[in-house]
Structures are given as C-alpha cells and as structure tokens.
Amino acid sequence: MSLKEKLQQDMKDAMKEREAGKLKLSVLRLTLAAIKNKEIQSGYDLDDAAIEEVIAKEVKQRREAMAEYQNVGREDVVRKLNQEIEFLLPYLPQQLTEGEIRQIVEKAIAQVGAKDKSDLGKVMGAVMPQVKGKADGKIVNKIAQELLG
C-alpha cells in the first residue's frame, strides 16, 4: 500500500469515527489536498518520497505557526496544532535524535574541512541530503553553528 493510499484509508477511518475523528479528518484532507496540488503543479503522480516531502512541509508549517501562537499566548491553538502534528508524524520516516544529528554534523565538518561559522553553508550542504525528511533544518543549523562556534 502506497503512502497516499494509506492516507486515504486513514481518512475514511476518521470519517467513520464522526466527532472523535473530526480533527484528524480535517488534517488528512488538508494534507491530501496539498499532495494533489503538488501533483497538479508537477504534472505527474508523486511517489512516496515526494509525498513525505509534502507531509514534512505541512508539519513544518504547523511548527512555525505554533511558535507564533505561543508568542501571543494562544495555548488553545498551540494544543490543536500539536495534535495535528501528532497525526502527521506517523507518515514520516523515524526522526533522528539530537545525538544522531550531532554525529552527522561532526562527520560533515571533518569531511568539508570546516573551521568556523563562515563554513556553515558547506556543512549544511553536506548534511541536509543525509537528514532530509528525518530532521528539522532549524535543529541541524543550530547544532552546526554550535559546533562551528
């Protein structure tokens, strides 16, 4: 079963749950719409890797919005966004821990011969293809700056 088919099946299951599955249904519908828009934009059906990219983008948007809502004290919206993220995470590959990211960044620093923060671009260029979909770029950037600084 492809990732798209799994999303569609889970959406059907959420429909059957009525009130209990209302938020999950909404999140899955929005995600499937984002996938469909990307397919229309690209002109072909997306494979699982491309679908994971779309889902990762959806999670990232929610995390960014969550930070904004925390700043203005809207804890109710923050909780809702957190639930939405929890619904989407099972469709993504297992996320790397900070320790695993740190090891990857350390190897990349050694590979590119980075000395200080001016080499951050080289390090990020080496690390991001390895952690794509498995780690948030902001966390990777923070760790890279910490190790280079």
Output the pLDDT for position 133.
75
Q: How confident is the model at residue 79 (pLDDT cuts 50, 70, 90)?
A: very high
Q: What is the pTM of this model?
A: 0.77
Same domain as 133, residue 109: yes
**Average pLDDT of every residue of the chain:** 88
84 and 122, same structural domain?
no
Instruction: Say if residue 125 is in the same domain as residue 73.
Output: no
Residues 81, 106 share a domain: no
Number of structural domains (the chain) is 2
Which CATH number does the domain housing residue 125 bear? Answer: 1.10.10.410
> Is pLDDT above 80 for 21?
no
- Nearest alpha carbon to residue 147 among 133, 132, 126: 126
Q: Which of 70, 91, 112 is the last residue of a domain?
A: 91
Number of H helices, E strands in the chain: 7, 0
Residue recorded with tokens 């909404």: 26
* Residue 121 near residue 85, CB atoms below 8 Å: no
pLDDT at residue 24 is higher than 80: yes
Q: Which domain holds residue 137?
A: 98-148
Same domain, 31 and 63: yes
User: In this structure, are 34 and 74 located in the same domain?
Assistant: yes
Identity of the residue numbered 136: D
- CA angle at 77 for the pair 66 and 135, rounded to the nearest 5°: 30
Q: Are residues 71 and 108 in the same domain?
A: no
| 72 and 25 share one domain | yes
The pLDDT of residue 27: 92
Contact (Cβ atoms closer than 8 angstroms) between residue 90 and residue 33 = no
Do 119 and 82 lie in one domain? The reply is no
